Amino acid sequence: MKKIKVLIVDDSPFTIDYLNKILGEDPEIEVIDFANNGKEGLEKTKKLSPDIVVMDIEMPIMSGIEATEKIMKEKPTPIIILTSSLNTRNLYKSFDAIKNGALEILNKPTSRPTDEWDETIKELLGTIKRASKINVFEKKWTRESKLNQANLNSRYSVIAINSSTGGPRILNDIFSNLREDFSIPVIVAQHISFGFTQGLVDWLNIYSPLNIKIAEDDEILKGGDIYFPPDGAHVTVKNDRIKLLYAEPVRGIRPSGNVLFESMANNYGKESIGIILTGMGKDGLNGAKKIKELGGLIIAQEPDSTIVASMPEAVINNNLADLILTPNDIINTILEIEERK
């Protein structure tokens, strides 16, 4: 069996030794080398062609942000960012690395066992294995938006978005291009590592003219606001209010796009818009069926424009997508729909 080749980039010798030990214990993974800063990481990525780069953010000579940008331009490779700090400054930097092309941000494992230690290791190993299969060559989104008039209702009350790997970058593209007076509430189920949701929301708020926030249970939906569930919760809607469900993950996923979409369909019917963006797996498929059955609109991201195509492809292959659009097309379509409201 061919092993997954990993390059570790971190300025801490202790962290490198510890990550090498953790990754080396997995029979599917081989650590092929180490780098102590982003510049060295870039050079070794070009020389060694690893399947995955596991990278720190704060490093001398060249940061993880700059190294990510250069790697994606010069030698596109899946990059996973590890951070040991959830403070605002470090999270902004981590999400800037996502904007530059990194796939995921994860908690950096510590050598001292904690309540979350096993889950942190499991998540890191699983993410490396999934990310090693992803083609990260940059894709261009150039097509003009073309609306099929027959697919559009005259009124839509709520937009729900489901996204996973690659989602933060696309969400930033969409939300930063909506108008300040945009009047439809938006609810997002983004699959993200525990502890990073608030950082994602704060980062998105830097670029968007709209109010992006962590949803509160029972709050009334407000036009133009964008809601993310807090860590550990599913998000639903009922009677124009947010309802948070602190329940178990659905098929390993929380927040679940299916849970969100099904509640949207049950409460808004044909006034619902469900958007399925980049991601691995089939989350959102069953919920999209429900929205479609009740006359709502389903938009799938064009697979060629995704980082991971399987989530939108599941919807497309089941003939549920009314529109199959690139991110630029999605922006134009949302704006045109809102103008008709």
Tell me whether residue 111 is one of the annotated catalytic residues.
no
In 166-318, beta strands by DSSP E: 186-190, 212-214, 226-228, 234-238, 241-245, 272-276, 297-301
* Angle (nearest 5°) at CA 33 between 30 and 38: 125
Show the tokens assigned to 31.
């650590």
Place of tokens 């099929």: 148
Nearest to 197 by CA among 212, 177, 184, 217: 212
Tell me whether residue 218 is one of the annotated catalytic residues.
no
Tell me the C-alpha distance between 179 and 126, whole Å: 38
Q: Is 301 helix (H, G, I), strand (E, B) or coil?
A: strand
- Does the bond joining 255 to the residue before it have cis omega, within 30 degrees of 0? yes
Tell me whether residue 305 is one of the annotated catalytic residues.
no
| Active-site hit among 283, 305, 322, 329 | 283
CB 223 within 8 A of CB 257: no
CB 33 within 8 A of CB 43: no
Tell me the C-alpha distance between 105 and 110, whole Å: 15
| Active-site hit among 157, 164, 193, 208 | 164
214 bridge partner residues: 228
Nearest to 307 by CA among 188, 190, 135, 69: 135
Q: Is 47 helix (H, G, I), strand (E, B) or coil?
A: helix
Show the tokens assigned to 198.
């608030």
- Helices 285-293 and 310-317 cross at an angle (nearest 10°) of 40
| Active-site hit among 10, 56, 94, 191 | 191
Q: Is 66 helix (H, G, I), strand (E, B) or coil?
A: helix
Nearest to 229 by CA among 209, 208, 250: 250
Q: What positions carry a catalytic annotation?
A: 164, 191, 283
